[in-house]
Amino acid sequence: MWGLLFMEIKAFISVEDIVVIKDNMDYFKSIFPRFKIISDYFVVDDERFVEYTEGADMFDWKEVTMEIDSYNNFWCLAKFVQQFKMEKL
């Protein structure tokens, strides 16, 4: 018997991307049925982001824990988020 498997993924994601995900949660759940955001917290000062985002502070990023089927689906989610952002332009 096969059980339903999912992964718990913890990642640092820009606040802008989290807003896109939350605004389109029904759409993402229709594509990834077992997808859900467990938690999202602002990142406490982390020097790794400053060099990549030209002075970003802790309010530009969130540490997000989510459940999703696979890393491949996580990658697809990221691509969909970028597509939504591009369509808004």
3-state SS assignment for residue 36: strand
CA distances in angstroms from 81 to 4, 36, 55, 74, 76, listed in the order given: 25, 15, 23, 11, 9
pLDDT confidence tier of residue 35, bands split at 50, 70 and 90? very high
Residue numbers of the domain that contains 59? 7-88
**CA-to-CA distance for 79 and 89, rounded, in angstroms?**
16
pLDDT band at 27 (very low <50, low <70, confident <90, very high): very high
3-state secondary structure of 24: coil
- Cα atoms in the Cβ-side hemisphere of radius 13 Å centred on 49: 18
pTM value?
A: 0.78
Instruction: Say if 2 falls within a structural domain.
Output: no
Residue 1 domain-assigned? Answer: no
Does some domain include residue 47? yes
Q: What total of structural domains would you count in the chain? A: 1
In a domain, 32, yes or no: yes
The strand ranges marked E within the chain are 7-14, 36-42, 61-68
